[in-house]
Structure 1
Amino acid sequence: MTGTLDHVMMRVADLETSLDWYQTHLDYEEKERYEGDGFTIAYLGPEDMHDDGAMLELTENDDEVEYEVGDAWGHIAVRVPEGELEDHYEQLMDEGVDDYRDPESCGGSYAFVKDPDGHEVEIVQRDYGALWSLDHTMIRVEDADEALGFWTRKFEYVEPRSRWEASSFANYFMAPEDDAKEAMWLELTYNYDGREYTMGDAWGHLAVRVDDLNDDWEQLMLREADDYRSPEECDDLYAFTRDQDGHEIELIDRDPDSDSLFPF
Structure 2
Amino acid sequence: MDGTLDHVMLRVENLDESLEWYQEHLDYEEKDRHDGDGFTIVYLGPEEMHEEGAMLELTHNEGESDLEVGDAWGHIAVRVPEGELEDYYDQLMDEGVDDYRDPESCGGRYAFVKDPDGHEVEIVQRDPEEGALWSLDHTMIRVEDADDALGFWTRKFEYEHAGRWESDTFANYFMKPEDAAPEAMSVELTYNYDGRSYDMGDAWGHLCVRVDDLGDDWDQLMVREADEYRDPESNDDMYAFTKDQDGHEIELLERDPDADSLFPF
Using the aligned pairs only, state the percent identity: 80
Contact 1:2/1:211, CA 8 A, preserved across alignment: no
What is the CA–CA distance in structure 2 between the aligned matches of 1:173 and 1:64, rounded to whole Å? 33
Query: In the alignment, does 2:172 pair up with 1:158?
Result: no
What secondary structure sits across from 2:156 in the alignment? Answer: helix
Contact 1:43/1:58, CA 8 A, preserved across alignment: yes
> What is the CA-CA distance between 1:178 and the residue it aligns to?
1.1
In the alignment, what sits opposite 1:239? Answer: 240
Query: In the alignment, does 2:14 pair up with 1:14?
Result: yes
In the alignment, what sits opposite 2:178? Answer: 177
Contact 2:79/2:125, CA 8 A, preserved across alignment: yes
What secondary structure sits across from 2:58 in the alignment? Answer: strand
In the alignment, what sits opposite 2:134? Answer: 132
The equivalences for 1:1-264 within 5 A come to 1-127=1-127, 128-160=130-162, 162-264=163-265
> What is the CA-CA distance between 1:3 and the residue it aligns to?
1.6
What is the CA–CA distance in structure 1 between the aligned matches of 2:25 and 2:231, rounded to whole Å? 37
Question: How many equivalent residue pairs?
Answer: 263
> What is the CA-CA distance between 1:65 and the residue it aligns to?
2.7
What is the CA–CA distance in structure 2 between the aligned matches of 1:2 and 1:260, rounded to whole Å? 24
> What is the CA-CA distance between 1:254 and the residue it aligns to?
1.1
- Which piece of structure 1 moves more, 58-67 or 205-214? 58-67
Contact 1:93/1:99, CA 8 A, preserved across alignment: yes
- Which piece of structure 1 moves more, 180-189 or 58-67? 58-67
State the Cα deviation string for residues 61-97 of structure 1 (Å, max 9, x = none).
0023321000000000000000000000000000000
State the Cα deviation string for residues 128-153 of structure 1 (Å, max 9, x = none).
21000000000000000000000000
What is the CA–CA distance in structure 2 between the aligned matches of 1:43 and 1:176, rounded to whole Å? 22
Q: 1:115 to 1:22 in 2, by over 3 A?
A: same
Poorly superposed stretches of 4+, deviation over 6 Å: none
Amino acid at match of 1:9: M
What is the CA–CA distance in structure 1 between the aligned matches of 2:183 and 2:64, rounded to whole Å? 36
Q: What residue ranges of structure 2 are gaps of 5+ in the alignment?
A: none
What secondary structure sits across from 1:49 in the alignment? Answer: coil
Amino acid at match of 1:246: G
Contact 1:112/1:120, CA 8 A, preserved across alignment: yes
Contact 2:68/2:202, CA 8 A, preserved across alignment: yes
Q: What residue ranges of structure 1 are gaps of 5+ in the alignment?
A: none
Amino acid at match of 1:153: R
What is the CA–CA distance in structure 2 between the aligned matches of 1:63 and 1:24, rounded to whole Å? 25
Amino acid at match of 1:87: D
Contact 1:3/1:155, CA 8 A, preserved across alignment: yes
What secondary structure sits across from 1:6 in the alignment? Answer: strand
Contact 1:45/1:55, CA 8 A, preserved across alignment: yes
Contact 1:8/1:205, CA 8 A, preserved across alignment: yes
What secondary structure sits across from 1:20 in the alignment? Answer: helix
> What is the CA-CA distance between 1:171 and the residue it aligns to?
0.2
Provide the TM-score with structure 1 as the length reference: 0.99
What is the CA–CA distance in structure 1 between the aligned matches of 2:96 and 2:63, rounded to whole Å? 29
What is the CA–CA distance in structure 2 between the aligned matches of 1:64 and 1:209, rounded to whole Å? 28
